[in-house]
Structure formats: C-alpha cells, structure tokens
Amino acid sequence: MKHILVLIGLLALGACATLTPNSSLQSVQAQITQTCVGYEMLYTTLTTARESGQIGKSYGPMIEKSYTVMYPYCSGSLPTDQTAAAQRLGAVAGQLALLQSIQKSATTGVTTK
C-alpha cells in the first residue's frame, strides 16, 4: 500500500504544471482542473489509508481541513479572469503540496505538527 501511496503522490505532482507569464487563460484553467483531479486522487487515497489504519488517525483533521479549503476551488466554475485563475491555481497547488507532505510524513513515520 505504501508504494501505491507514493505512486498516487507522484501522479498528483505530475498533474501540477508550471504557470508561466505567457500562460493563456485556458491553459491556467486546464492546470487548475488537473491539479484538482490530482488532489482528489491523493485525498481519496489518504482517507482510505487512514480509515484502514495504514496511517495514523492524527492525520485526519489535517486532511479534512485541506478538503474544506479545496472543495469550493475545485467544485465551482473556473475563473474567467486571468488574475483570478492564477490566484486559484496557486491556492490549489498549495493544498496539493500540503497533502503531499502529509502523505510523505504518514508513510515515512515522520510526525507533522
């Protein structure tokens, strides 16, 4: 299971493309969508691992708080303004990075605060 968690994390990381100054609005919207998909995959994996006892229950509040933050970003319509889209991409990429750090800590036995 540990290897599956690592693979899912790598897939999620690969879903995050780099935002460049010349990125079109459609490109940024696609990156938001990809990042949300990667986040959802990792969230599901971590939630399942937590429920089955493969990672500590202490990670639950962090995982759920992250989901609470992400839900409006990933469930609503995509921004139609370049600046708003770039801000949303930064927010969703940050939450994905948070889940990836939880995954790394949970699978290596390192405790997060």
pLDDT confidence band for 22 (50 / 70 / 90): low
Q: Is 42 a member of any domain?
A: yes
Q: What is the mean pLDDT of the chain?
A: 82
Residue 85 predicted with pLDDT over 50: yes
Q: Is 33 a member of any domain?
A: yes
As a whole number of angstroms, the longest Cα–Cα distance in the chain is: 45
pTM of the model as a whole: 0.73
Residue 76 near residue 16 (C-beta atoms within 8 A): no
Alpha helices in the chain (DSSP H): 2-15, 25-51, 60-75, 82-108
Q: Is 113 a member of any domain?
A: no
Q: How many domains does the chain have?
A: 1
Average pLDDT of the residues in 63-76 = 93
Q: Is 43 a member of any domain?
A: yes
**Which tens digits make up the pLDDT trace of 45-62?**
999 999 998 888 889 999
